[in-house]
């Protein structure tokens, strides 16, 4: 799909780069494991925060703690959600403008401050306003993390691993929820209430302090740097990554030289122009991302924030025993992405996303029928939820994967922020609706219809994926969505530049130079191997004998420009012309005035 031309900066010089290809050809290494661990903790922190807030809420109503009303405690979740939406939008824009690394350090620091201040909230008076402000601050940090982290992970993970890694990272939300449940059980049951809730809220910031130390050594995304015209910084970042991978792995695979891009840095665009771009240039992808994010958020918020009420009102489970049931629920959600995540890279995005959404919807319909008929107890209801969300969790994580890889790099973080914000708004409606459907627990029929509504939402998301999902498995991000900064790929670039593609005009590539050194015995590099493409001299000699024959149906095009030398293949032009690179025995025919594309 063509990138919108209106954002290209015509004043910036063009750059030719193989950096995206160099990233995608890397084998998995310790560097990737360290990066995923350091960045993926954002999801762990979110799961931890929400679970702790839900579990310590009753303690905050006590006279010896904050003496808040039940409604005031419930409002804490609302303010945290508002903070997430604001943080995603605000820091998402900054991430596209200032870089991934700068933002994932800032957003983690914002969360640390907000989470720490929550634990230090004084009791009495109007300090509840301070408490709400700290929840907004903590939520803003986590919301900003989603935009910056998903962008950074997608841009620095090799294409063949991107799907499973992204799903695993997103699924660790439930590892955080599991840890949060254990933490609250320990502190609430073994520490005095006036101190226990404060210690529980400090768990997240303490974990964040450890991670911020690991993150400080991570490089900036080379993809972001090169597409913003920072050529030297991008080369330094990718060289550092390649050196780390080389130390922990075998020799690096060769770079696919055909993946070279010609880049002209693009101007920044705001949210309103971005919305226009998404609707005008990416309508089906916008529909896909919106459908996947909204439906999963609606179902998850509806079930997650009301599961305790269902267990208490319909199955008579004591409040103190609810966390034990939730632990099983969290394990099922965590195992889904961990076990079937790799299938999104092998079986394919379309089949797996649609399959997980549709299957979870159908299983929820069956569970709703059993619930209405009175066939379930607390244990079997929990088992049903565990099986349903084993598949739904993988599908929901794939929703975040989809919106982070199907839009151009320059607007990726802002696109994630927009879809995240919209999804969270719909998710809040789900929890509010289901809370009213549960009522006092005397009428299961109302909740039955609520379950059917949630199932219908997931089925709708699955059907959208059937028709509009992008087959992105194993593909470079630049092949999925052409960045706004990319003027052309190699074949297009030589036409636009008006010069033939020769060894002298080819950019330097470190991996090919390394091959030349090995061939030379490792001591020195022969002069004829200084240019990256000299080892392929025979191919270049062949290409130098090629001319371009211009065919445009039966029409003859008058000579307008000198002919050039190009790679063999068939080209299509904007003027509906067809170019065919042939041997020099053919007639001498010039180029037209347009920019042909290799097909």
pLDDT of residue 520: 41
- Sign for the CA dihedral angle at 439, 445, 446, 451 comes to positive
Residue 250: strand, helix, or coil: coil
- Sign for the CA dihedral angle at 522, 528, 530, 531 comes to negative
Asked if pLDDT for residue 319 goes beyond 50, the answer is: yes
Asked if pLDDT for residue 468 goes beyond 90, the answer is: yes
533 vs 510: CA distance, rounded Å = 11
Q: Where are the domains of the chain?
A: 11-254, 266-486, 531-598
Q: Give the residue among 141, 197, 146, 181 at the shortest CA–CA distance from 48.
A: 181
Average pLDDT (461-472) is 94
Average pLDDT (526-533) is 41
Q: Residue 234: how many CB atoms within 10 A of its CB?
A: 23
Q: Which residue has the tokens 């244990």?
A: 379
pLDDT of residue 390: 95
Contact 496, 488 (CB under 8 A): yes
What is the band of 359 on the pLDDT scale with cuts at 50, 70, 90?
very high
Q: Give the residue among 122, 136, 168, 123 at the shortest CA–CA distance from 49.
A: 136
- 169 versus 189: which is more confidently predicted? 169
Look up residue 386 and give its two tokens: 């565990």
Percent of the chain beyond pLDDT 90? 27
Phi-psi region of 260 (alpha: psi -120 to 50; beta: other; left: phi over 0): beta
Lowest mean pLDDT among 378-382, 432-436, 499-503: 499-503
Average pLDDT (389-414) is 89
Asked if pLDDT for residue 279 goes beyond 90, the answer is: no
Given this chain, do its domains 11-254 and 266-486 carry the same CATH topology?
yes
pLDDT tens for 219-261 read: 888 988 888 888 889 999 999 999 989 888 767 888 888 888 8
Lowest mean pLDDT among 60-69, 178-187, 316-325, 500-509: 500-509
36 vs 22: CA distance, rounded Å = 19
What is the band of 455 on the pLDDT scale with cuts at 50, 70, 90?
very high
What is the band of 407 on the pLDDT scale with cuts at 50, 70, 90?
confident
pLDDT of residue 460: 95
Asked if pLDDT for residue 514 goes beyond 80, the answer is: no
Residue 546: strand, helix, or coil: strand
pLDDT of residue 537: 47
pLDDT of residue 148: 82
What is the band of 3 on the pLDDT scale with cuts at 50, 70, 90?
very low
Look up residue 30 and give its two tokens: 């310790």
Asked if pLDDT for residue 30 goes beyond 50, the answer is: yes
Lowest mean pLDDT among 308-312, 482-486, 550-554: 550-554
pLDDT of residue 16: 82
| Strand duo 570-572 + 597-598: pairing | antiparallel
- 106 versus 534: which is more confidently predicted? 106
Asked if pLDDT for residue 503 goes beyond 60, the answer is: no
Average pLDDT, the chain: 78
Q: Which residue has the tokens 């780069």?
A: 17
Lowest mean pLDDT among 98-102, 337-341, 470-474, 507-511: 507-511
What is the band of 552 on the pLDDT scale with cuts at 50, 70, 90?
very low
Percent of the chain beyond pLDDT 70? 77
- 60 versus 518: which is more confidently predicted? 60
Contact 277, 4 (CB under 8 A): yes
Lowest mean pLDDT among 435-449, 452-466, 492-506: 492-506
pLDDT of residue 268: 65
Give the contacts of 230 (CB within 8 A, at least 6 positions apart). none
Asked if pLDDT for residue 585 goes beyond 50, the answer is: no
Average pLDDT (422-439) is 83
pLDDT of residue 13: 64
What is the band of 592 on the pLDDT scale with cuts at 50, 70, 90?
very low
Which helix or strand (DSSP H or E) is residue 487 part of? strand 486-488
Lowest mean pLDDT among 49-53, 188-192, 275-279, 563-567: 563-567
pLDDT of residue 489: 56
53 vs 118: CA distance, rounded Å = 11
CATH architecture of 11-254: Up-down Bundle (1.20)
Asked if pLDDT for residue 551 goes beyond 50, the answer is: no
323 vs 188: CA distance, rounded Å = 12
Domain 266-486 matching CATH 1.20.1250.20: the answer reads yes
Q: Which string of b and e fits 432-449 if b means at least 16 CB within 10 Å?
A: ebbeebbeeeeebeebbe
Q: Whole-model pTM?
A: 0.73
pLDDT of residue 77: 80
Lowest mean pLDDT among 6-20, 218-232, 559-573: 559-573
């Amino acid at each position: 799909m063509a990138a919108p031309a209106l954002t290209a900066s015509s004043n910036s010089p063009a750059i030719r780069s193989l950096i995206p290809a160099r990233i995608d050809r890397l084998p998995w290494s310790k560097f990737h494991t360290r990066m995923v661990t350091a960045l993926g903790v954002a999801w762990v922190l979110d799961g931890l925060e929400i679970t702790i807030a839900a579990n310590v809420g009753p303690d905050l109503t006590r006279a010896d703690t904050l003496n808040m009303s039940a409604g005031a405690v419930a409002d804490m979740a609302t303010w945290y959600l508002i903070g997430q939406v604001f943080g995603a939008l605000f820091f998402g824009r900054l991430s596209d403008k200032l870089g991934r690394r700068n933002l994932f350090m800032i957003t983690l620091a914002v969360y640390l401050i907000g989470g720490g201040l929550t634990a230090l909230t004084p009791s009495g008076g109007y300090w509840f306003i301070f408490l709400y402000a700290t929840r907004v601050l903590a939520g803003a940090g986590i919301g900003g993390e989603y935009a910056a982290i998903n962008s950074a992970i997608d841009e620095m993970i090799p294409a063949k691993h991107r799907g499973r890694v992204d799903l695993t990272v997103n699924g660790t939300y439930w590892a955080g929820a599991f840890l949060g449940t254990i933490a609250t059980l320990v502190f609430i049951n073994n520490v005095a209430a006036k101190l226990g809730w404060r210690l529980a809220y400090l768990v997240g910031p303490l974990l964040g302090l450890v991670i911020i130390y690991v993150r400080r050594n991570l490089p900036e995304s080379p993809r972001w740097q090169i597409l913003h015209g920072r050529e030297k910084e991008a080369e330094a970042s990718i060289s550092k990554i390649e050196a780390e991978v080389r130390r922990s792995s075998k020799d690096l695979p060769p770079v696919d030289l055909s993946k070279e891009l010609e880049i002209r840095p693009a101007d920044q665009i705001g949210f309103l122009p971005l919305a226009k771009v998404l609707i005008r240039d990416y309508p089906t992808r916008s529909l896909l991302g919106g459908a996947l994010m909204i439906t999963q958020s609606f179902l998850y918020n509806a079930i997650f924030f009301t599961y305790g009420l269902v267990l208490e009102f319909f199955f008579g489970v004591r409040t103190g025993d609810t966390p034990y049931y939730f632990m099983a629920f969290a394990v099922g959600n965590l195992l889904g992405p961990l076990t079937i995540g790799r299938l999104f890279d092998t079986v394919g995005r379309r089949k797996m996303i649609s399959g997980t959404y549709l299957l979870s919807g159908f299983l929820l319909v069956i569970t709703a029928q059993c619930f209405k008929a009175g066939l379930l107890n607390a244990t079997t209801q929990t088992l049903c939820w565990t099986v349903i969300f084993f598949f739904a969790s993988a599908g929901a994580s794939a929703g975040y994967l989809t919106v982070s890889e199907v839009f151009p790099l320059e607007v990726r973080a802002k696109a994630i922020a927009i879809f995240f914000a919209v999804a969270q708004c719909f998710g809040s409606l789900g929890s509010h609706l289901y809370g009213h459907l549960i009522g006092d627990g005397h009428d299961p029929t109302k909740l039955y219809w609520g379950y059917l509504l949630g199932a219908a939402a997931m089925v709708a998301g699955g059907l959208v994926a059937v028709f509009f999902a992008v087959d992105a498995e194993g593909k470079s991000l630049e092949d999925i969505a052409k960045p706004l900064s990319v003027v052309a790929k190699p074949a297009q670039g030589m036409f636009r530049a008006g010069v033939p593609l020769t060894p002298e005009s080819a950019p330097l590539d470190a991996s090919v130079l390394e091959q030349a050194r090995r061939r030379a015995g490792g001591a020195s590099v022969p002069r004829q191997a200084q240019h990256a493409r000299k080892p392929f001299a025979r191919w270049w000699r062949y290409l130098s004998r090629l001319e371009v024959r211009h065919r445009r149906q039966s029409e003859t095009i008058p000579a307008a420009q000198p002919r050039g030398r190009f790679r063999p293949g068939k080209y299509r032009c904007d003027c509906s012309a067809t170019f065919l690179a042939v041997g020099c025995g053919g007639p001498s025919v010039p180029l037209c005035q347009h920019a042909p594309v290799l097909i």
